[in-house]
Every structure is written in structure tokens, then in C-alpha cells.
Amino acid sequence: MNTAKLMLTIPALLLAAGAAAADFSLNMISARDMNPSSLALPLPEPVPGFSVITEVEEASYLADREAVTELEERGAPAAGLGGDGTVKLYHQWHRERLEIRYRDASGRYIPAALAQIRRLFRCRLTGREIEVPSRLIEIIDAIQDRHNGAEVTIICGYRSPELNGALASDSGGVAKKSLHMRGLAADIKIDGVRTSALRDTARALRAGGVGYYPSDGFVHVDTGAVRYW
């Protein structure tokens, strides 16, 4: 046997021996085994025990069309939007009111006030809280001041994963990575103010995302990149 044939034969014999030792056969692999869908992990079970959702609230959660990208953190600076440092809020689902100064005369934020706002923005299903960025508070403050200091109603603030999962199981159309789940968004309205006027005010700030939902009577605001829908 010449050298070339020997070099070809030895690897073939080694391969055959290895396959035999492992009791392995190429016939064991089918086209189905190579299908990526066969490797997919099972979907998590929906969160049970939460199915009573009003039409307005469901519209609020289904309406999340935020573009979740790295631009989320690049909105306008917190200060400089023209708010007076005081907010007057009412949470539609908790039925709680809060009127508080969150920024002092020197421009410093007041930790105790921010904690109360965080409490008001808590998830209505779990009661869990999350930090509310000062930029979101400033956006709401600026909108409020441009409407003569009228009370702002919070329809949706922070949304926990449990609430998100419950809503998803009921509707199948909830945004999986909504900014509400990170405390970076709020759905708001002001009694006596047209939703279109509220939208125009929010857009004029150019401080983040603005979603317009006239049929449900609210506007979505967030601290993400400037974008409108």
C-alpha cells in the first residue's frame, strides 16, 4: 500500500472505530432533529388568578408600542422642562391623591417626596413598588403646569411582571418589554382637558415617547427616545 492510500485509510479506520465504540449511527439523525423549532423551550405558564380587567385599563396595557432600545436612557435631562417642582396626582385604581413638592428651591430632589410618588405609582395587582425616575416626574409636572396646575390622573404607572403576565394570559397582546415594567412610563389624563390637547402638550416637550389614545381618553408618556404614535 502506498503512503497516500495509508494516510487516507488510517483516519477512516479511526472514525469507524470511534463510532462503533459510542454505538453511534448517522442514521439516528433525522431532518426533524435539525429543525430549530424542535429545540424551542416551552413557554412559561400564564399567571393565574387575575382576569377582571376593565376595557379602559386593558386598552392602556395593550397600547404599549414603546420601542425598547438603548435609546431609552437618552431622553431629555430631568430638569429644564419648566415644571415648578410640585405635582398634584390622583391614581385611578388605588383611588389615592397626592399633592407634594418633590424638588426644593435649589433644584435638589426630596427623597421623602420621591418615596411617596413611588408608592402612588405601585403595581395595582401586587402592590410592589419600583423607582420612578425624576425625568418622568418632571414630564408630568411640566404637562400639569401647562394646564393651569390641574390634577393629573394616573391610569397606569408601574406594572409588575405578574400583572403583565396576567394581562397577557387574558388578551395575548401585551407588550413583553413595556417601559411600564421598568417604572419609566405613565398613562395619564386630566379631567376637562381634551386628549388631543394633552397629547400636543406632551409632544411639545420633546422629552420622551408620547402615545395618543383618543378613544380611551388617555396619553402615554415615557422617558425613552422622542417618538410618537
Give the chain's end-to-end CA distance (angstroms, integer). 76
Q: What is the pLDDT of residues 89-137, one digit of tens each?
A: 999 999 999 999 999 999 999 999 999 999 999 999 999 999 999 999 9
Looking at residue 34, its pLDDT comes to 39
Looking at residue 163, its pLDDT comes to 86
Please determine, for residue 170, whether its predicted confidence score (pLDDT) is greater than 50.
yes
Which range is least confidently modeled, 45-49, 140-144, 198-202, 220-224? 45-49
Distance CA 14, CA 9 (A): 9
Looking at residue 92, its pLDDT comes to 97
Please determine, for residue 204, whether its predicted confidence score (pLDDT) is greater than 90.
yes
Looking at residue 66, its pLDDT comes to 46
Which of 108, 198, 183 is CA-nearest to residue 150? 198
Query: What is the number of alpha carbons within 13 Å of residue 29 lying toward its C-beta?
Result: 5
Which range is least confidently modeled, 53-67, 122-136, 172-186? 53-67
Please determine, for residue 151, whether its predicted confidence score (pLDDT) is greater than 50.
yes
The burial of 153, by beta-carbon neighbours within 10 Å (0-12 exposed, 13-18 middle, 19 or more buried), is given as middle
Share of the chain above pLDDT 70, in %: 62
Q: What is the pLDDT of residues 8-19, one digit of tens each?
A: 444 444 444 444
Average pLDDT over residues 194-221: 96
Q: Are strands 185-189 and 96-101 parallel, antiparallel or unpaired?
A: unpaired
Which of 149, 156, 183 is CA-nearest to residue 53? 156
Please determine, for residue 72, whether its predicted confidence score (pLDDT) is greater than 60.
no
Per the prediction, the chain carries an average pLDDT of 76
